[in-house]
Amino acid sequence: MDAGVTASGEPPYAGVGPPGEPPAPGTMAPGGPDRHPAPSPNGTGALLVVGDVVTDIVARHRAPLAPGTDTVAAIRTVPGGAGANVACWAAHWGRRDVRFLGRAGADAAAWHEETLRRASVRPHIAVDPEAPTGTVICLVDAAGAAAERTFLTDSGACLRLSPADWTPALLDGVTWLHLSGYLFFAEPSRAAARAALASARARGVTVSLDPASVGFLVRHGVDRFLADAAGVDVLLPSRDEALLLTGPPGTTGLADATGLAAAAGPTGPAAAAAELSRRFPEVVMKLGGDGALAARDGRVRVRVPAVRATARDSTGAGDAFTGAYVASRMAGAGLRDAVSEGCRAGARAVSRVGARPELRAPLPGGRAGAPPGA
């Protein structure tokens, strides 16, 4: 789940006060020597997220999957995509100007634009005339304490985002750019992400990046990904992603990559974060049930325990962490406070079905979240 939450039978947010609304921008005091990495210490400026937007089909099953026959499941169709999820959670966590750039097919682009607007996100959706909207089937083990999920992914239009969809004018008024790592795993979206990163660096805009997927990282190549990410200010990997990015050369298979956590032992994640922070100014690692940690200048500076939650669906928990973390940093929060807010958001995410926070208003027709044709 990798979002600073621990599954339990206790109510969500145990020990962290009432769930309520997230704090308003600018209300969290900077902590100690921490410094807001964006050039907007008073909380001004917009957040632009460039990434994937997809349709999630979430199937929660309590019995083991039965090959060759039926398995009973509760199935819902909801908006998703790591990049779009981050944007929605950042807006939900109090960021007042959040924008999103992504690509969708003509089959569902209008629906995704509307769901983003209802989440207080300003959408810039490039409509693909050929490819359908990306679709992800999320198989959620509802019987397991952590509600872990497995993805079947058809990227569709989302990884066809191209440099032609990008213009530096999208950065007007923006002080923080967040990139979804999924964009780096295919062309032409890789070229689009690199163009956005270059434009942000030229303007002095803070850039954060979530590596997104161990499986795709393995196929893309660690060295290639690290080269693509040069110039990023804040890296937000999961435990397995960080261990892969700092692991021994020659890790070529998914089994090798996911086995690194066990081989590294309890000190492995901290060492990985410290090593990555020699390459990236700020590294924030999501540790699931073990909370989260943050490193700078080759040292772990912050450790935050997990927030207890009753897990229903861990889809999007890491995206919730990232959105709340970025929103908090932009509001002026110190490193520890921002990591803590990320853990709170992750707990809220796993306690509901789907990867997004609740909409603040129903969609037209009274069917909030209903996809086209549903």
pLDDT digits (tens, 9 = 90+) for 209-228: 999 889 889 999 999 999 99
pLDDT per residue over 168-205, tens digit each?
A: 999 999 999 999 999 999 999 999 999 999 999 999 99
Average pLDDT over residues 38-43: 49
Q: Residue 44 contacts by C-beta under 8 Å, 6 or more apart in sequence?
A: 175
pLDDT per residue over 62-87, tens digit each?
A: 888 889 999 999 998 989 999 999 99
pLDDT per residue over 257-289, tens digit each?
A: 555 554 554 458 999 999 999 999 999 999 988
Between 36 and 162, the higher pLDDT residue: 162
Least confident stretch, 39-53, 176-190, 291-305: 39-53
* pLDDT at 213 (0 to 100): 87
User: Which residue's entry shows tokens 């210490």?
Assistant: 41
Alpha carbon distances (Å) from 351 to 8, 39, 123, 229, 237 = 11, 34, 26, 32, 22
Structural contact between residues 96 and 374, judged by C-beta atoms closer than 8 angstroms: no
- pLDDT-derived band at 232, boundaries 50, 70, 90: very high
- pLDDT-derived band at 1, boundaries 50, 70, 90: very low
Q: Are strands 299-304 and 292-296 parallel, antiparallel or unpaired?
A: antiparallel
Between 147 and 126, the higher pLDDT residue: 126
Q: What is the mean pLDDT of the chain?
A: 82
Structural contact between residues 79 and 311, judged by C-beta atoms closer than 8 angstroms: no
Structural contact between residues 52 and 80, judged by C-beta atoms closer than 8 angstroms: no
Nearest Cα neighbor of 365 from 118, 122, 119, 126 is 118
- pLDDT-derived band at 143, boundaries 50, 70, 90: confident
Domain locations in the chain as residue ranges: 5-52+81-132+163-356
Question: Does domain 5-52+81-132+163-356 bear CATH number 3.40.1190.20?
Answer: yes
Phi, psi at 247, each rounded to 5°: -75, 180
| pTM of the model as a whole | 0.82
pLDDT per residue over 104-120, tens digit each?
A: 999 999 999 999 999 99
Structural contact between residues 282 and 29, judged by C-beta atoms closer than 8 angstroms: no
* pLDDT at 328 (0 to 100): 97
Tokens of 283: 């590294």
- pLDDT-derived band at 303, boundaries 50, 70, 90: very high
Strand partners, 141: 61
Please say if the pLDDT value at position 301 is more than 70. yes
DSSP-assigned letter for residue 315: T
* pLDDT at 370 (0 to 100): 56
- pLDDT-derived band at 37, boundaries 50, 70, 90: low
DSSP-assigned letter for residue 4: S
Please say if the pLDDT value at position 207 is more than 50. yes
Tokens of 46: 């917009």
DSSP-assigned letter for residue 272: H
